[in-house]
Amino acid sequence: MTTMDTPHKNQNSDSGMSRTVAYEPKGIAKTANYKVIDAIRNGEVPEPTVHPSVQAPDAVIDVQNFNLYYNQHAKALFDIRMKVPRGAVTALIGPSGCGKSTLLRSINRMNDLIDGVRVEGEITLNRSPIYAPSVDVIELRKRLGMVFQKPNPFPMSIFENVVYPLRIDGERRKSVLEEACEKSLRAAAIWDEVKDRLKSSALGLSGGQQQRLCIARAIVADPEVLLLDEPCSALDPVATLKIEELINEISERYTVLIVTHNMQQAARVSDYTAFMYLGRLVEYGPTAQIFQKPKLIETEHYVSGRFG
């Protein structure tokens, strides 16, 4: 869960800064002028730097002037404006507490589960608003698949795990369930490993397998967008690699929005990258540009690990 931007947090990253300076005596940081970041730290909401190529009209998700408050004193998202392009992988990066997970969870309204959360602005999914009063949250969540930080298979058989979203829709026909199960397990590249033990407990799988199972579960109902919330942060490098390959494969069929801490991962799997800081969108553009030729010095320093 993302934390809020409290003054305390601010100070923490300040002290982190000064260490960075000490670390590189001739460093750029000392001379660098973190104009945007400084403005953000001062509580301003600067205009995000958005590359023209992501302003495409055909956005699956369109975040429009979105603000989110955890309570009256803790504002977590500041006027986010962002279009997520169709059929691509978009990564959200940024230091801890920058609101990227909050933004992700705002899209399937998981934040509704937290008492006292209030939002302003609108997000649309395929042009239909998410926060309009007429939206049924349950229906909305069925249009989105979500995978969490820690693999969270349910304590049931592998088969039952995968078909869970269909079961809660009242699907009972065995043939339909079996077909859907196989299809999505194949799509999640785990079919060969589990096809002989579909009836055994999902908790017996390894962490990487569990996460791929969760991906299979997330795509079984054919969602419009797949939301991945740091899907590899609890996995070892080999399992991470497999998931990343899987994301690449899946992105041919689904729009994927992924939150990650790992800059290399963002560089490897995503087509577009958004850099967030303290609840504000800082820079957003094609991954290649963000990582090689960002428009802001802050972004350059962040992706190269010199700040943050």
Partner 1 sequence: MTQTMLEPVSPSPAPKPEPAPVVEHKRRRTLPSAIGEPMVWLTGGALTICLTMIVLLFTMVIINGTTTFWPRPIERLELLSGEIVLGIETQHEKATRETEDRTLYRVGNRDIGQQSYRWINDSDVVERTTPEDAVMLEREAWGVWLGIPDQILRADPLAEEPEIIAQGSGAYFEAFDELHAQARADRDEVEQLKKKELGRINSKMARARLNVQQAEIDAARDETELYRFSTPVWVGLAFLALGCIGCLIRFKNYGTEMGSPVARQGKLLRASASMVFLALVTALWVGSPWAGSDLTESDIAMMNAQLLEREQVLQEQYDEVLTRIREIEEYDATLRVSVIEPTSDQFAPTSQTLADQHLHMSQIVRQVRPNTMGFGEKLGVYLSRWWEYLSTFPREANTEGGVYPVIMGTVLLTLLLTIVVTPMGVIAALYLREYAKQGLVTSMIRIAVNNLAGVPSIVYGVFGLGFFCYTVGSYVDVGPSESTRMAVGNWWTLLVVSTMVLIGAIATRLWSKPNPGKLPSAMNIALQRFSWLIWAVGVICVVMLVAGTPYFHGMFEARSSSGTPTFGARGLLWASLTLALLTLPVVIVATEEAIAAVPNSMREGSYGCGASKWQTMRRIVLPGALPGICTGAILAMARGAGEVAPLMLVGAVKLNQDLPIDSEAPFLHADRSFMHLGFHIYDLGFQSPDSQAARPLVWTTTLLFLSIVFALNLIAIVLRSKIRSRMAGPTV
| Residues at the contact surface with partner 1, assessed by CB under 8 A | 23, 25, 108, 110, 113, 116, 118-119, 131-139, 141-142, 144-146, 148, 150, 152-156, 164-165, 167-169, 200-206, 214, 217-218, 221
Nearer to partner 1, 133 or 237 (CB): 133
Nearer to partner 1, 144 or 250 (CB): 144
Residue at 281: amino acid letter = L
Nearer to partner 1, 201 or 262 (CB): 201
Q: How far is CA 132 from CA 59, 64, 172, 210, 216, in A?
A: 19, 13, 32, 35, 30
Nearer to partner 1, 23 or 96 (CB): 23
Q: Percentage helix, strand, coil, to 5, in the chain?
A: 40, 20, 35
- Provide the CA 29 distance to its chain's centre, in angstroms: 29
- 7 CB-contact burial (10 Å; exposed 0-12 / middle 13-18 / buried 19+): exposed
Nearest-approach distance from CB 215 to partner 1, in angstroms: 12
Nearest-approach distance from CB 209 to partner 1, in angstroms: 10
Q: Whole-angstrom Cα distance, residue 87 to residue 124?
A: 16
Nearer to partner 1, 108 or 273 (CB): 108
Q: Whole-angstrom Cα distance, residue 282 to residue 295?
A: 10
Please give the structure tokens belonging to residue 196.
Answer: 């002989």
Nearest-approach distance from CB 171 to partner 1, in angstroms: 12
Nearest-approach distance from CB 222 to partner 1, in angstroms: 12
Residue at 283: amino acid letter = E
Nearest-approach distance from CB 19 to partner 1, in angstroms: 10
Nearest-approach distance from CB 145 to partner 1, in angstroms: 8
Residue with tokens 């001379």: 31
Sign of the Cα torsion 295, 301, 307, 308 reads positive
Nearer to partner 1, 58 or 139 (CB): 139
Nearer to partner 1, 87 or 204 (CB): 204
Q: In what order do the strands lie in the sheet with 118-125?
A: 75-85, 59-69, 118-125, 128-129
Please give the structure tokens belonging to residue 177.
Answer: 């369930």
Please give the structure tokens belonging to residue 89.
Answer: 């992988």
Nearest-approach distance from CB 101 to partner 1, in angstroms: 12
Give helix 207-219 / helix 237-250 axis angle, nearest 10°.
20
Nearer to partner 1, 114 or 288 (CB): 114
Please give the structure tokens belonging to residue 175.
Answer: 């043939």
Nearest in space to 48 (alpha carbons), one of 86, 103, 96: 103
Nearest-approach distance from CB 224 to partner 1, in angstroms: 12
Please give the structure tokens belonging to residue 276.
Answer: 């967030």
